[in-house]
Amino acid sequence: MDAELIRQYTLIVDFLGHVLGPDYEIALHELEDDSNRIIAIANGELTGRHIGSPLSNKMLEFVAGNLYETQNYVLNFESVSATGKTMCSNSMFIKGRHGELSGLLCINFDASRYEELSQRVMELCGGGKKRGVPSGTRLIADSNDPVETPVRSGYPTSIAGATASIVSQVVANYPVEVDRLTQDEKMEIMDILNRKGVFLLKGSVSHVAQTLHSSEASIYRYLGKLNNK
Protein backbone atom coordinates (compact mmCIF):
# COMPACT_ATOMS: atom_id res chain seq x y z
CA MET A 1 0.00 0.00 0.00
CA ASP A 2 1.21 3.51 -0.69
CA ALA A 3 1.70 6.06 2.07
CA GLU A 4 -1.59 7.87 1.49
CA LEU A 5 -3.63 4.67 1.54
CA ILE A 6 -1.91 3.60 4.74
CA ARG A 7 -2.68 6.99 6.31
CA GLN A 8 -6.37 6.72 5.39
CA TYR A 9 -6.79 3.16 6.63
CA THR A 10 -4.86 3.91 9.82
CA LEU A 11 -7.35 6.68 10.53
CA ILE A 12 -10.21 4.23 9.91
CA VAL A 13 -8.67 1.78 12.40
CA ASP A 14 -8.44 4.48 15.05
CA PHE A 15 -11.98 5.70 14.29
CA LEU A 16 -13.56 2.24 14.45
CA GLY A 17 -11.66 1.44 17.63
CA HIS A 18 -13.33 4.38 19.35
CA VAL A 19 -16.78 3.95 17.79
CA LEU A 20 -17.15 0.19 18.31
CA GLY A 21 -15.56 0.13 21.74
CA PRO A 22 -13.20 -2.16 23.66
CA ASP A 23 -14.92 -5.42 22.67
CA TYR A 24 -13.71 -4.99 19.06
CA GLU A 25 -10.15 -5.34 17.82
CA ILE A 26 -9.47 -3.60 14.50
CA ALA A 27 -6.24 -4.48 12.70
CA LEU A 28 -4.72 -3.24 9.45
CA HIS A 29 -2.29 -5.63 7.75
CA GLU A 30 0.12 -4.66 5.02
CA LEU A 31 0.96 -7.53 2.66
CA GLU A 32 4.29 -7.67 0.86
CA ASP A 33 5.97 -10.33 -1.27
CA ASP A 34 7.84 -11.95 1.61
CA SER A 35 5.95 -10.81 4.68
CA ASN A 36 2.74 -9.59 6.24
CA ARG A 37 2.37 -7.57 9.39
CA ILE A 38 0.01 -5.41 11.38
CA ILE A 39 0.76 -1.74 10.75
CA ALA A 40 -2.13 -0.27 12.76
CA ILE A 41 -4.26 -1.79 15.52
CA ALA A 42 -6.92 -0.71 18.00
CA ASN A 43 -7.78 -2.71 21.15
CA GLY A 44 -5.02 -5.23 20.45
CA GLU A 45 -5.19 -6.43 24.05
CA LEU A 46 -8.15 -8.61 23.01
CA THR A 47 -5.85 -10.98 21.09
CA GLY A 48 -2.52 -9.95 22.58
CA ARG A 49 -1.33 -8.68 19.19
CA HIS A 50 0.56 -5.51 18.38
CA ILE A 51 2.16 -3.67 15.47
CA GLY A 52 4.39 -6.17 13.68
CA SER A 53 2.27 -9.24 14.50
CA PRO A 54 1.37 -11.51 11.55
CA LEU A 55 -1.98 -12.60 10.14
CA SER A 56 -4.13 -15.09 12.00
CA ASN A 57 -3.64 -18.71 10.94
CA LYS A 58 -6.92 -18.85 9.06
CA MET A 59 -6.32 -15.60 7.20
CA LEU A 60 -2.96 -17.00 6.06
CA GLU A 61 -4.87 -19.90 4.51
CA PHE A 62 -7.36 -17.55 2.85
CA VAL A 63 -4.57 -15.46 1.35
CA ALA A 64 -2.55 -18.50 0.26
CA GLY A 65 -5.67 -19.90 -1.40
CA ASN A 66 -6.21 -16.64 -3.33
CA LEU A 67 -9.69 -16.26 -1.86
CA TYR A 68 -9.45 -12.52 -2.56
CA GLU A 69 -9.77 -13.25 -6.28
CA THR A 70 -13.42 -14.26 -5.88
CA GLN A 71 -14.45 -12.46 -2.68
CA ASN A 72 -14.04 -8.99 -1.25
CA TYR A 73 -14.28 -10.10 2.37
CA VAL A 74 -14.85 -13.07 4.69
CA LEU A 75 -17.46 -12.83 7.44
CA ASN A 76 -18.25 -14.45 10.78
CA PHE A 77 -15.55 -17.07 11.26
CA GLU A 78 -14.87 -18.15 14.83
CA SER A 79 -11.37 -17.89 16.24
CA VAL A 80 -9.59 -18.24 19.56
CA SER A 81 -7.04 -15.63 20.61
CA ALA A 82 -3.73 -16.24 22.39
CA THR A 83 -5.43 -14.98 25.54
CA GLY A 84 -8.13 -17.67 25.24
CA LYS A 85 -10.95 -15.40 24.13
CA THR A 86 -13.50 -16.66 21.61
CA MET A 87 -13.55 -14.18 18.75
CA CYS A 88 -15.94 -13.60 15.86
CA SER A 89 -13.73 -12.50 12.97
CA ASN A 90 -14.42 -10.52 9.81
CA SER A 91 -11.81 -9.51 7.24
CA MET A 92 -11.91 -7.28 4.16
CA PHE A 93 -9.39 -7.69 1.35
CA ILE A 94 -7.74 -4.41 0.30
CA LYS A 95 -6.97 -4.58 -3.40
CA GLY A 96 -5.10 -2.44 -5.89
CA ARG A 97 -6.35 -1.14 -9.22
CA HIS A 98 -5.60 -4.43 -10.95
CA GLY A 99 -7.07 -6.66 -8.26
CA GLU A 100 -3.76 -7.40 -6.54
CA LEU A 101 -3.95 -7.93 -2.79
CA SER A 102 -2.11 -5.25 -0.82
CA GLY A 103 -3.63 -5.43 2.64
CA LEU A 104 -6.39 -6.56 4.98
CA LEU A 105 -8.73 -4.75 7.33
CA CYS A 106 -9.76 -7.16 10.07
CA ILE A 107 -12.44 -6.66 12.72
CA ASN A 108 -12.57 -9.18 15.55
CA PHE A 109 -15.31 -9.18 18.18
CA ASP A 110 -14.83 -10.58 21.68
CA ALA A 111 -17.68 -13.07 21.84
CA SER A 112 -16.39 -14.95 24.90
CA ARG A 113 -18.58 -13.11 27.39
CA TYR A 114 -21.68 -14.34 25.58
CA GLU A 115 -20.82 -18.01 26.06
CA GLU A 116 -22.86 -18.36 29.25
CA LEU A 117 -25.99 -16.81 27.81
CA SER A 118 -28.86 -18.96 26.63
CA GLN A 119 -29.53 -19.64 22.95
CA ARG A 120 -32.73 -17.62 23.25
CA VAL A 121 -30.84 -14.55 24.43
CA MET A 122 -28.42 -14.95 21.54
CA GLU A 123 -31.34 -15.08 19.10
CA LEU A 124 -32.72 -11.87 20.56
CA CYS A 125 -29.28 -10.27 20.14
CA GLY A 126 -29.37 -10.97 16.42
CA GLY A 127 -30.03 -14.60 15.60
CA GLY A 128 -26.41 -15.79 15.53
CA LYS A 129 -26.28 -19.40 14.41
CA LYS A 130 -23.28 -20.21 16.60
CA ARG A 131 -23.07 -19.60 20.35
CA GLY A 132 -21.15 -16.43 21.02
CA VAL A 133 -21.58 -14.93 17.53
CA PRO A 134 -24.13 -12.10 17.67
CA SER A 135 -25.24 -10.57 14.42
CA GLY A 136 -23.70 -7.28 15.51
CA THR A 137 -20.39 -8.65 14.25
CA ARG A 138 -21.75 -8.71 10.72
CA LEU A 139 -20.49 -5.23 9.98
CA ILE A 140 -20.07 -5.43 6.20
CA ALA A 141 -22.95 -7.07 4.40
CA ASP A 142 -24.90 -6.97 1.17
CA SER A 143 -26.72 -9.33 -1.15
CA ASN A 144 -23.40 -10.75 -2.33
CA ASP A 145 -22.26 -11.91 1.12
CA PRO A 146 -19.95 -14.93 1.10
CA VAL A 147 -21.11 -18.05 2.92
CA GLU A 148 -20.26 -17.95 6.61
CA THR A 149 -17.11 -19.89 7.43
CA PRO A 150 -17.35 -21.42 10.92
CA VAL A 151 -13.71 -22.28 11.56
CA ARG A 152 -11.33 -21.86 14.48
CA SER A 153 -7.88 -20.34 14.25
CA GLY A 154 -5.17 -18.70 16.31
CA TYR A 155 -3.86 -15.16 16.50
CA PRO A 156 -0.06 -15.43 16.79
CA THR A 157 1.67 -12.41 18.25
CA SER A 158 4.97 -12.86 16.37
CA ILE A 159 6.02 -14.08 12.94
CA ALA A 160 8.47 -16.57 14.44
CA GLY A 161 5.77 -17.90 16.76
CA ALA A 162 3.28 -18.24 13.92
CA THR A 163 5.76 -20.17 11.79
CA ALA A 164 6.82 -22.49 14.59
CA SER A 165 3.24 -23.20 15.67
CA ILE A 166 1.95 -24.16 12.22
CA VAL A 167 5.03 -26.15 11.21
CA SER A 168 5.20 -28.12 14.46
CA GLN A 169 1.49 -28.95 14.27
CA VAL A 170 1.73 -30.24 10.70
CA VAL A 171 4.89 -32.28 11.34
CA ALA A 172 3.51 -33.71 14.60
CA ASN A 173 0.41 -34.96 12.80
CA TYR A 174 2.50 -36.76 10.18
CA PRO A 175 2.82 -40.51 10.92
CA VAL A 176 6.55 -40.71 10.09
CA GLU A 177 9.45 -39.28 12.09
CA VAL A 178 11.35 -36.49 10.38
CA ASP A 179 14.56 -38.52 10.06
CA ARG A 180 12.68 -41.20 8.12
CA LEU A 181 10.81 -38.94 5.69
CA THR A 182 11.27 -39.62 2.00
CA GLN A 183 11.44 -36.81 -0.55
CA ASP A 184 7.84 -37.52 -1.58
CA GLU A 185 6.72 -37.33 2.04
CA LYS A 186 8.56 -34.05 2.51
CA MET A 187 6.80 -32.78 -0.59
CA GLU A 188 3.46 -33.73 0.96
CA ILE A 189 4.32 -31.77 4.11
CA MET A 190 5.51 -28.85 2.00
CA ASP A 191 2.21 -28.88 0.14
CA ILE A 192 0.26 -28.73 3.41
CA LEU A 193 2.44 -25.90 4.74
CA ASN A 194 2.10 -24.02 1.46
CA ARG A 195 -1.70 -24.26 1.57
CA LYS A 196 -1.67 -23.03 5.16
CA GLY A 197 0.22 -19.93 4.04
CA VAL A 198 3.40 -20.61 6.04
CA PHE A 199 5.62 -19.34 3.24
CA LEU A 200 3.91 -15.96 3.38
CA LEU A 201 5.75 -15.47 6.67
CA LYS A 202 9.21 -13.93 6.56
CA GLY A 203 11.96 -16.35 7.57
CA SER A 204 9.74 -19.41 7.23
CA VAL A 205 11.98 -21.15 4.67
CA SER A 206 14.86 -21.29 7.14
CA HIS A 207 12.61 -22.62 9.92
CA VAL A 208 11.05 -25.29 7.69
CA ALA A 209 14.48 -26.34 6.45
CA GLN A 210 15.69 -26.89 10.01
CA THR A 211 12.53 -28.77 11.00
CA LEU A 212 12.64 -31.10 7.98
CA HIS A 213 16.43 -31.56 8.25
CA SER A 214 16.83 -30.14 4.75
CA SER A 215 18.80 -27.33 3.19
CA GLU A 216 17.13 -24.03 2.32
CA ALA A 217 17.98 -24.75 -1.32
CA SER A 218 15.93 -27.97 -1.09
CA ILE A 219 12.97 -26.12 0.40
CA TYR A 220 13.06 -23.57 -2.42
CA ARG A 221 13.24 -26.44 -4.91
CA TYR A 222 10.20 -28.10 -3.34
CA LEU A 223 8.35 -24.79 -3.47
CA GLY A 224 9.25 -24.36 -7.12
CA LYS A 225 7.78 -27.77 -7.93
CA LEU A 226 4.59 -27.01 -6.00
CA ASN A 227 4.10 -23.64 -7.67
CA ASN A 228 4.62 -25.13 -11.11
CA LYS A 229 1.93 -27.80 -10.70
Mean of the per-residue pLDDT values for the chain?
81
Above pLDDT 90, what percent of the chain?
40
Q: How many CA atoms lie within 13 A of 14 on its CB side?
A: 7
Measured N-to-C along each axis, helices 159-172 and 204-211 cross at an angle, to the nearest 10 degrees, of 30
pTM exceeds 0.85 for this model: no
pLDDT at 174: 82
Q: What's the order of all strands across the beta sheet hosting 101-110?
A: 36-42, 24-31, 101-110, 86-95, 73-80
DSSP calls for 13-67: HHHHHHHH-TTEEEEEEEE-SS-EEEEEEESGGGTT--TT----HHHHHHHHTTG
Pick 150 or 206 by higher pLDDT.
206
